[in-house]
Structure 1
Amino acid sequence: MAYLVPAEFVTKMVDAGEAKIYMSTRDTLVRAYMAGAILALAAVFAVTVAVQTGSFLAGSILFPVGFIMLYLMGFDLLTGVFVLAPLALLDRRPGVTVQGVLRNWGLVFCGNFAGALTVAFMMAFVLTMGFNTDAGAIADKLADVGESRTLGYAAHGTAGWMTIFMRAMLCNWMVSLGVVGAMISTHVSGKAIAMWMPIMLFFYMGFEHSVVNMFLFPFAMMMGGEFSIMDYLLWNEIPTALGNLVGGLAFTGLTLYSTHYKTAPKRQLVNSTVLNNNASLVKP
């Protein structure tokens, strides 16, 4: 399925990071908005499947559908730009600055949050007939998750905060592999398979994804979850975003960049020298 070797797709990672930093404010916000909305809808879909079938594994197997759709459409998640944008800075691409990276992160965060919040409101409205009926088992399940992933962590203090931070690191280790997976093939089927595996793993393991949580917790509050906005920010979104940043960049971005991108020119230089020497040996 037209597999690209690491030295080739890591170059695409750096190029993608540079392109995202130079992207206009409008395009960045629109693409981030759509990514947040699609991923939120995929989360509802996965939870619906899990509740109706009684199998969380079934929901986890199907959740990557949303991730694949948004990346095939060229939309951007915060977890992805956390990994790609710093590589362009590290590679000293012309005009790429720390301010440019932070601007990209900020715009994508806002766009993701707006998209996820839109779907949270729409699903709350749909499940309650305009907030006039009981939302049912799916909403109850999401509300319970919202409480357990805020107040549940808070009950353990610093240990709870560090737990969510590490779960977020593990999450974006896998999610960023999905982002890279979209680059290792030139065929849709190859891209989908490569993205599917790590995304399914993160969802089934219950790791913390900052964009999924931008939907989950506002929706849970609309459905009567008994926690506050500050509980959500301090005991979920902030440590999750920080963990996503550290995990994705450390485990995926920097490892691939340091061991494949930085060594590729040396390898190419050696191969070129060998070819030139061989050519000189066969000359008359």
Structure 2
Amino acid sequence: MSTKAFAPEEIVKETLNSSVKKVKKPFITSFLLGILAGAFIGLGALFYTIVKADETYSFATKQIFGGFVFSLGLILVVVAGAELFTGNNLIAIAWAEKRVTTKQMVRNWIIIFFSNMIGALSLVVMIYFSGHFEMNHNAIAETYVKMAEAKCSLSFTTAFFRGLLCNILVCLGVWMAMGGKTVTDKILAIVFPITLFVAAGFEHSIANLFIIPMGLLLDSSVSVDVITRELSVSGMFKNLIPVLLGNIVGGSVLVGLMYHFIFLKNKKTY
């Protein structure tokens, strides 16, 4: 078999066929793969937090190196195998091509989002009882709280556009990984877009389902200086709703439907 990467026109075909397979998986298979993906993204966020908590790094170093290690989350999803809500927004390609119905697409998104949430929250519980946050003289715990507070303090518009920009990059990472034929190809395709989205401070709904609950659990045990105090369950939903909407628009419309229009509308690629 050739190890040459797929051309963009071939990636469309691969993504289309993969999307059809995703919506046809049995519920339990999709659900369990979704749980894995939520935990995998949480592990990426944990890795990022370790870097973010080290005050010996400059701002740019923390952001870029932190984004680099966060890439582990999507690498695990793509290479080890799991179903991630933000990546599954690319199912919009198959929907536009009428290979899947609106009901099938929305059903998949709902199953995967809530199973991702269960995976992320399960990891929160395990990490909390592991005492991981006590590392670096409790700086890890303080960093979780500061990040969660900052996320809960975002306005609707800011959170929406950060979510939109995030999932453009996440879906481009998934898209390019689909074009690779080796594990190395896929990892290299993922690392740069994910590093950029994290370094730029964009918002990922599933990562936030790990970071904000961790911040909520640790809030009472650390003292941090913040301008506002919006870290709460209601603050979490205040963040998640616009970020979720932004993720959907960025991934399904600005990547999925854009490539459908370019390569599939009124054309035959297979």
Give the TM-score range, shorter chain.
0.7 to 0.9
Distance in 1 (alpha carbons) for counterparts of 2:132 and 2:201: 27
- Aligned match of 1:122: 126
One of 87, 94, 101 as aligned partner of 1:88: 94
Offset at residue 79 of structure 1 (A):
0.3
Aligned to 2:53, the other structure's residue is in SS state helix
Aligned to 1:224, the other structure's residue is in SS state helix
One of 5, 9, 24 as aligned partner of 1:7: 9
- Aligned match of 1:281: none
Distance in 2 (alpha carbons) for counterparts of 1:5 and 1:174: 19
- Aligned match of 1:272: none
Distance in 2 (alpha carbons) for counterparts of 1:60 and 1:134: 20
One of 37, 62, 68 as aligned partner of 1:35: 37
- Determine which structure has more spread, i.e. the larger CA radius of gyration: 1
Determine whether 1:174 maps to 2:177: no
Are the counterparts in 2 of residues 89 and 98 from structure 1 also a CA contact under 8 Å? yes
RMSD over aligned Cα atoms: 2.1
- Aligned match of 1:110: 114
Instruction: Return 5+ residue gaps in structure 1 as ranges.
Output: 154-159, 269-284
TM-score relative to the length of structure 2: 0.88
Give runs of aligned pairs for residues 177-216 of structure 1, distance below 5 A: 177-216=172-211
Offset at residue 82 of structure 1 (A):
1.5
Distance in 2 (alpha carbons) for counterparts of 1:128 and 1:90: 45
Offset at residue 265 of structure 1 (A):
2.2
Amino acid of the residue matched to residue 143 of structure 2? K
Give runs of aligned pairs for residues 1-284 of structure 1, distance below 5 A: 2-52=4-54, 54=57, 55-56=61-62, 57-83=64-90, 85-93=91-99, 96-127=100-131, 136-150=138-152, 152-153=153-154, 160-224=155-219, 227-233=231-237, 235-262=238-265, 264-265=267-268
TM-score relative to the length of structure 1: 0.84
The number of equivalent residue pairs is 254
Amino acid of the residue matched to residue 79 of structure 1? T
Distance 1:187 1:134, change over 3 A: closer
Amino acid of the residue matched to residue 126 of structure 2? M
Are the counterparts in 2 of residues 128 and 134 from structure 1 also a CA contact under 8 Å? no
Offset at residue 134 of structure 1 (A):
11
Offset at residue 165 of structure 1 (A):
0.2
Deviation beyond 6 Å, 4+ runs, structure 1: none
Are the counterparts in 1 of residues 52 and 143 from structure 2 also a CA contact under 8 Å? no
Offset at residue 261 of structure 1 (A):
2.8
Are the counterparts in 1 of residues 163 and 243 from structure 2 also a CA contact under 8 Å? yes
Distance in 2 (alpha carbons) for counterparts of 1:118 and 1:240: 21
Distance in 2 (alpha carbons) for counterparts of 1:100 and 1:265: 24
Q: Give % identity.
A: 31
Distance in 2 (alpha carbons) for counterparts of 1:45 and 1:89: 35
Distance in 1 (alpha carbons) for counterparts of 2:172 and 2:77: 15
Amino acid of the residue matched to residue 106 of structure 1? I
Amino acid of the residue matched to residue 94 of structure 2? A
Distance in 1 (alpha carbons) for counterparts of 2:145 and 2:239: 14
